[in-house]
Each structure stands twice: as C-alpha cells, then as structure tokens.
Amino acid sequence: MQLTKSVRLSLIFIGLLLFITGCVQYPMGLTKEQWEALSPAQQAEYQSKQYEINAERNRQYEARRQEQARLAEIRREEEAQQAAEQARIEQDRLAVAYRHARYGDIVIVTVKGGGIAFHGSDYAYEPVAFEIFRGETKEVIFKREGRSYESTAVLMRLSEDGNAFIFDADSRKRIVIPNDGWARGRTYSDLPQISTREGQSGAIGVTLQISLKPLPGGPRGGFDEHHRR
C-alpha cells in the first residue's frame, strides 16, 4: 500500500513526539511490541482509528459540557425567578405594613457629611433621607456630589423590634446604632469608619440623624423613649 506524503509526515511527527516526551502511548491501547510489529500502513490505519475514537470522545465531552451549561443556565433562571418572586412578595408585604404602620414602626434617617466610597475611594455625596420599617433591609442609593451619574448602593436595616439601626448591613464592620432617644430625634456625628466587604472604606465621617416618624399611636403630651409594645 502506497503511503501518502501526509501520512508519512504524521507518522514521523508522532514518532518524534513520543521520543521527545518519553511518554509512550500507542494507538488503540497497543503495547510497544505490538505497535512495532505493524507495518507503516497498519500503523497509519490504527492511528486513523485512534483519531476517530478521540474525535468521538471529544464530541461526547462537548455535548456533556453543553448540556451541563444548559442545565446550569436553567437553574440560574429558576433562582432568578424565585428571587424576583420573593422580592415581589416582600415588597407587597412592606407596602401593606407601611400603610398600616403605627408609631415606632418607622424611623426617618438622614445621612450627610463626610464621604462615601465610590469605586473604592471616599468622595463627598449628596445628602440622603429615607424611611425604613422595622425588620426591613433597604438598599439606599448615594450619588457622588457634582457627579450625580456616579452612584453606589449601601444596605440599611432596622431590627425586627425597631430599636436598632444598622448602617451598611452586609459590611464586615457595620455600625449598629441603638435607640437612645429617637422619639426626640438624635444626631450621630462621631461614628467610626465603616469598612465594606472588600476591606475598603465604605463611609467615613458621616453624620446620621434618626427620628421616629409621627404616626398614630404616638405620645400626645410627651415623648415615648421605650415605644415597643
């Protein structure tokens, strides 16, 4: 059988590769003796069969990889749908809670002064005021002063009993401020530096003002320091 130039070159290349690497692996699981007993034409035939086997293995591997990727994408979509549904349920729950809120359920928070981290560096920002219901975790958006197109989000939380406000709730060095007079309104300007999950400054030198929102059930003639019922 006449060997083509390409087959001869392939055999030469395979031989050189085996010689250089010192890792002898013969096609179709043959031993060295079995391989060397074959004629060049037979070696080429075995090598061609091995190529076909390798190609089929690669095809099966790629098919499995694509199937795994497809299933992973389905799981991600399902998880995203579940998260969206949970968020919708929580949003609806909070909407009802806000409508029927009583005194002590909601606090008003103002954040101003100092710096908030934008992309890892502290910058001045536009003051922010928001309401938060007891047990709620709220994402508050801060905009950089003079560059309102730059923004960053900080998670705030009010404890279930409404007596502890948590600034940067998912930070390693979050700040927890207990209710020590929110009925009259309190200002906190000596807060320590807050660190984000990445270990960079999340906020520094900020001033917080916290007060209870005037709502039904509140005191008439004075201030209720221990409002929990």
What are the pLDDT digits (tens) for 140-187? 999 999 998 889 988 999 999 999 999 987 777 788 899 999 999 999
| Cα 100 to Cα 134: distance, rounded to the nearest angstrom | 13
Q: If pLDDT is split at 50, 70 and 90, which confidence band does 227 have?
A: very low
- The pLDDT value given to residue 199: 43
Q: What is the mean pLDDT of the chain?
A: 84
Find, among 127, 87, 136, 128, the residue nearest to 107 by Cα: 136
What residue ranges in 8-146 does DSSP mark as E strands? 106-112, 115-118, 121-123, 128-133, 137-144
- The pLDDT value given to residue 142: 93
Per-residue pLDDT at 7 exceeds 70: no
Identify any residues that bridge with 194 across adjacent strands, giving them in sequence order.
203
Per-residue pLDDT at 229 exceeds 50: no
- The pLDDT value given to residue 173: 74
- The pLDDT value given to residue 10: 60
| Cα 175 to Cα 167: distance, rounded to the nearest angstrom | 5
Look at 7-16, 99-108, 120-129, 211-220 and tell me which has the smallest mean pLDDT: 7-16
Identify any residues that bridge with 187 across adjacent strands, giving them in sequence order.
209
Are 166 and 108 in contact by the 8 Å Cβ rule? The answer is no
Residue whose tokens read 């076909």: 52
| Cα 154 to Cα 196: distance, rounded to the nearest angstrom | 9
